[in-house]
């Protein structure tokens, strides 16, 4: 399943994006969480922060052997957000759920415009990468994908983008479900790969993060 999941990670970049609930962010300073507070949110909902040094290492632990010519296409997974967080002097937490069926990247920027920019990276990547082919391979095998819209039932957000990817790698089908949300100056990217649980658990976990913030 981990190998199958890996193929899935590739998918988000190859289809069309779906914005479930969007509002134009207002650039202004807002409350900013501390690193300890972000870590506490992870722990409270059974996610494990601090296991990996980079978001790239996090994704490779779930999707081993995933290769892409354009790493920015992985923005819907929160890939690279730690660099943006460092530039903005913002705490960031990332890790997997206890059962390793989901990954989450959470940044508290203290600024709605900065948080909106990170969310926009995910949306733009879905748009741009959907128009390209053969962007991803897993263990040398091409990954085929198809993106569809998702409308997660999540309340209390300022912006919500939901997406679902189905596809095939080496004859094995897979499904990925993802959400990217902004709550004030906080932004979260959460993705689930397990087809038995992701449709239900990704919205539930997203809501738990939002409630924790």
Give domain limits for the chain: 2-212
Give residue 9's pLDDT band: very low, low, confident or very high (50, 70, 90). very low
Among 125, 9, 130, 133, smallest CA distance to 65 is for 9
Average pLDDT of 15-41? 67
Task: Say if residues 153 and 181 touch (Cβ distance below 8 Å).
Answer: no
Task: Return the pLDDT at 26.
Answer: 44
CATH among 3.40.50, 1.10.260, 3.15.30, 3.40.1000 for 2-212:
3.40.1000
Residue 118 is predicted with a pLDDT of 94
pLDDT band at 53 (very low <50, low <70, confident <90, very high): very high
What values do phi and psi take at 204, rounded to 5? Answer: -65, -45
Please state, in angstroms and rounded to a whole number, the distance separating the CA atoms of residues 190 and 21. 16
- Token reading at 146: 């198809």
With a CB cutoff of 8 Å and minimum separation 6, the contacts of 24 are none
At 88 the pLDDT is 72
pTM, entire model: 0.84
- What sign has the CA pseudo-torsion 207, 56, 169, 73? positive
Strands 186-192 and 136-138, sheet pairing: unpaired
Cα–Cα distance between 133 and 109 in angstroms, integer? 34
pLDDT for residue 131: 65
Say whether pLDDT at 167 is over 60: yes
């Amino acid at each position: 399943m981990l190998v199958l999941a890996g193929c899935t990670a590739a998918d988000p970049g190859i289809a069309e994006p779906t914005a479930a609930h969007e509002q134009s962010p207002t650039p202004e300073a807002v409350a900013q969480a501390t690193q300890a507070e972000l870590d506490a949110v992870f722990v409270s909902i059974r996610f494990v922060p601090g296991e990996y040094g980079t978001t790239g290492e996090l994704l490779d632990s779930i999707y081993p052997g995933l290769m892409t010519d354009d790493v920015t296409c992985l923005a819907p997974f929160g890939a690279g957000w730690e660099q943006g967080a460092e530039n903005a002097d913002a705490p960031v937490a990332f890790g997997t759920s206890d059962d390793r069926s989901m990954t989450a990247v959470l940044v508290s920027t203290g600024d709605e415009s900065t948080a909106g920019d990170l969310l926009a990276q995910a949306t733009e990547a879905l748009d741009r990468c959907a128009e390209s082919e053969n962007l991803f391979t897993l263990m040398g095998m091409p990954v085929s994908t198809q993106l569809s819209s998702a409308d997660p039932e999540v309340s209390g957000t300022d912006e919500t983008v939901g997406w679902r990817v189905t596809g095939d790698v080496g004859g094995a089908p897979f499904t990925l479900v993802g959400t990217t949300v902004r709550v004030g100056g906080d932004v979260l990217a959460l993705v689930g790969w397990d087809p038995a649980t992701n449709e239900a658990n990704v919205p539930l976990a997203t809501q738990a993060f939002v409630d924790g913030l």
